Amino acid sequence: MATEVEAQITGNIWKIETAAGDALGEGDIILIMESMKMEIPVEAPCAGRLTEIRVAEGDNVEEGAVLAVID
C-alpha cells in the first residue's frame, strides 16, 4: 500500500535528496524544506521504494501538500 509523504508546514522546497526509484529506510531524508529561514528535513515515515516525487526544487507548498509517494 502506498504511503503519501505530506508537508508538515508551509514552505519552499530547498533541496531534493532522493530520486524516484530509490530504496528508502525509515527516517531517510527525502528532501529539505525551508520555512521561516529554517531548513526542515522531510524524512521517510516508513521503509520502501520512492515511487514518485510530486514537487521540484524551488516550489512553494502548503501544509498538507503531498510531496512524495513511497510504495
Give CA separation, 50 vs 2, 10, 33, 36, 54, in Å.
10, 22, 18, 28, 11
pTM above 0.75, yes or no: yes
Are 57 and 42 a contacting pair, CB within 8 Å? no
Domains and CATH numbers, the chain: 3-70 (2.40.50.100)
pLDDT of residue 1: 81
Residues 6+ apart with CB under 8 A from 4: 66, 68, 69
pLDDT mean values, one per 10 residues, the chain (71 residues): 95 97 98 96 98 98 98 96
The distance in angstroms from the start CA to the end CA of the chain is 6
